[in-house]
Amino acid sequence: MQLWTPNQSLQKGRFIVQKALHDGGFGATYIAIELRTNKLVVIKTLNSKRQSESDFPQQQVKFVNEGLRLAQCNHPHVVKVHEMIQEDGLWGMVMEYIDGENLEIYVDKRGQLSESEALRYIDQVGQALEYVHKQGFLHRDVKPNNIILRGGKKEAVLIDFGLAREFTIAKTLSMSNFGAEGYAPIEQYQRQGRFGTYTDVYALAATLYSLLTGRTPIPANYRKDGDAFLKAPKQFNSDISHKVNDAIIKGMALEPQDRPQTVREWLELLKPSPKSQIQNLKSSKMDYTRLRDLLAAGEWKAADQETNRVMLAVAGREKQGWLDSKSIDSFPCEDLRIIDQLWVKYSNGHFGFSVQKRIYESLGGTIFYDGKIWEAFGDRVGWKDRGRWIRTVDVVFGMEAPLAHLPWIDLHRARWWGWGWGVYYFYLFSRVKTCRL
């Protein structure tokens, strides 16, 4: 049995152990410094309990194979696994060190989070889970203290893949019945059960429950035995919207078949409903009847061109053919709201400036340029294809396009002083936020 201690040298002096973090159900976690780069890393091994079990060699094989697969994952909201190392027969998973506090500590310090802030983090973690699921993994341990906010940023990172396992949809699997009480669904209390993406849906919904109420939900096994029932989160926080309250309850349905079956399906339940009708199609500057008619008919390309036209007209920039920072900062909120509401309504929440802004902010975006965030946004909304930014001729004008792909509006043709056309959208998203869309 091996336990590493502070100042212990690993890999012939390449790493020096700084301290042990914790000993969980499967893994022992350490902070170490890599002397060559002078950077901190986190190294996880199977813990002392696992080391003492008769099938430890087989467990290590699984640990190594899964670590190697996780090392191939690359997502801004998933902790990065760098490599696997071996020290005296004990394998370790070397991961990035994230300087920040986890959401459990964050909520303990600040109390219940606002709905908008909580949804930002949940959307980010949801994106991470969607990515992980596409790689063939379930996380199986989503909870507030396994989500870290990068220091100084509103960027959530999903960590601790100690319970992560490969899965096959709709197949009964034998998995260890570990999981955090309050966040683990009923199938994780069973040695054999039907695991799927809905398993992580439960934990993500339970995490949102905790962020908004400051409480750990009632464990699923207590609910199953009839010893307790799940109280609606709105009972503990009246500011929670009915839509979010209902989505949490749906995501935490006791039986797997009663939950949304994928993370994306559940996240869609959290989206604000498009307004059933637009109260006024005319502002003091523009009549938006034609835009309404084009969108209602599903003429997406023509509607995009009409959006381009009316925005230039409202801003008085028809001759220039593009909007500058001043015209965006002063663009009338009344007009921006009508345009956005029309796009959101007739796309059923699939397109619109407010939809784009929500995704942009979920990636950590602000009014200040950040190349990595802008690249991630381009990937998410389909404005990048195989690593390259698309052109107008490549835009998908239809409902088959990715979420928030439209409006494209070709109003950024002036190249924005060499900053790149993305700067246009940073100013636009700032105005969308100011106008409270």
How far apart are alpha carbons 437 and 422 in whole angstroms?
20
How much is the average pLDDT of 225-233?
86
206 vs 274, more confident: 206
| CB contact at 8 A, 84 and 94 | yes
What's the confidence (pLDDT) of residue 171?
43
How far apart are alpha carbons 76 and 365 in whole angstroms?
12
What's the confidence (pLDDT) of residue 293?
93
| CB contact at 8 A, 69 and 131 | no
- Whether 267 has a pLDDT exceeding 50, the answer reads yes
Phi and psi of 388, rounded to 5°?
-120, 145
Is there a domain that residue 282 lies in?
no
210 vs 2, more confident: 210
399 and 319 in a single domain? The answer is yes
What's the confidence (pLDDT) of residue 168?
43
320 and 389 in a single domain? The answer is yes
Of the pLDDT bands very low, low, confident and very high (cuts 50, 70, 90), residue 177 is very low
What's the confidence (pLDDT) of residue 418?
36
Instruction: Please report where in the chains the tokens 């690993």 appear, as a residue.
Output: 10
Radius of gyration of the chain from Cα atoms?
Answer: 24
How much is the average pLDDT of 290-310?
94
Three-state DSSP state, 197: helix
Burial 49-73 (b: 16+ CB within 10 A, else e): ebbeeeebeebbeebeebbebbbeb
Q: Cβ atoms within 10 A of the Cβ of 322, count?
A: 18
How far apart are alpha carbons 212 and 111 in whole angstroms?
9
How far apart are alpha carbons 238 and 115 in whole angstroms?
11
216 and 349 in a single domain? The answer is no
326 and 246 in a single domain? The answer is no
How far apart are alpha carbons 322 and 363 in whole angstroms?
27
How much is the average pLDDT of 219-242?
89
167 and 266 in a single domain? The answer is yes
43 and 182 in a single domain? The answer is no
Per residue in 24-51, pLDDT tens? 667 888 999 999 999 999 999 998 888 8
How much is the average pLDDT of 57-82?
87
354 vs 274, more confident: 354
Q: Which CATH number covers residue 70?
A: 3.30.200.20
Phi and psi of 411, rounded to 5°?
-110, 10
Of the pLDDT bands very low, low, confident and very high (cuts 50, 70, 90), residue 276 is very low
Q: Domains in the chain: how many in total?
A: 3
Is there a domain that residue 281 lies in?
no
Of the pLDDT bands very low, low, confident and very high (cuts 50, 70, 90), residue 277 is low
Three-state DSSP state, 121: helix
306 and 320 in a single domain? The answer is yes
Of the pLDDT bands very low, low, confident and very high (cuts 50, 70, 90), residue 164 is low
* Residues composing the chain: 437
Per residue in 382-404, pLDDT tens? 998 888 888 888 899 988 888 88
Of the pLDDT bands very low, low, confident and very high (cuts 50, 70, 90), residue 190 is confident
How much is the average pLDDT of 191-196?
75
Phi and psi of 154, rounded to 5°?
-95, 55
259 and 297 in a single domain? The answer is no
- Whether 328 has a pLDDT exceeding 80, the answer reads yes
How much is the average pLDDT of 91-106?
92
How much is the average pLDDT of 326-334?
91
Is there a domain that residue 108 lies in?
yes
Among 202, 98, 111, smallest CA distance to 159 is for: 98
Is there a domain that residue 365 lies in?
yes
CA 106 vs. chain centroid, Å, equals 18
Per residue in 342-369, pLDDT tens? 999 888 788 999 988 888 887 877 767 7
Among 398, 391, 396, 363, smallest CA distance to 377 is for: 363
What's the confidence (pLDDT) of residue 69?
81
Instruction: Please identify, among 78, 96, 114, the residue that sits at the C-terminal boundary of a domain.
Output: 96
What's the confidence (pLDDT) of residue 17?
95
74 and 106 in a single domain? The answer is no
Instruction: Please report where in the chains the tokens 């190249």 appear, as a residue.
Output: 415
Q: What is the DSSP letter of 193?
A: E
Of the pLDDT bands very low, low, confident and very high (cuts 50, 70, 90), residue 170 is very low
Percent of the chain past pLDDT 90, that is, above it, reads 45
- Whether 413 has a pLDDT exceeding 70, the answer reads no
Q: Which CATH number covers residue 130?
A: 1.10.510.10
22 and 115 in a single domain? The answer is no
Q: Share the mean pLDDT of the chain.
A: 85
Among 382, 368, 386, 380, smallest CA distance to 429 is for: 368
426 vs 244, more confident: 244
Q: What is the dihedral of CA 208, 212, 213, 217, to 10 degrees?
A: 0
Instruction: Please identify, among 36, 62, 96, the residue that sits at the C-terminal boundary of a domain.
Output: 96
Instruction: Please identify, among 270, 302, 337, the residue that sits at the C-terminal boundary of a domain.
Output: 270
How much is the average pLDDT of 162-167?
51
Of the pLDDT bands very low, low, confident and very high (cuts 50, 70, 90), residue 417 is very low
123 and 76 in a single domain? The answer is no
| CB contact at 8 A, 98 and 148 | yes
Full domain range(s) for residue 130: 100-270
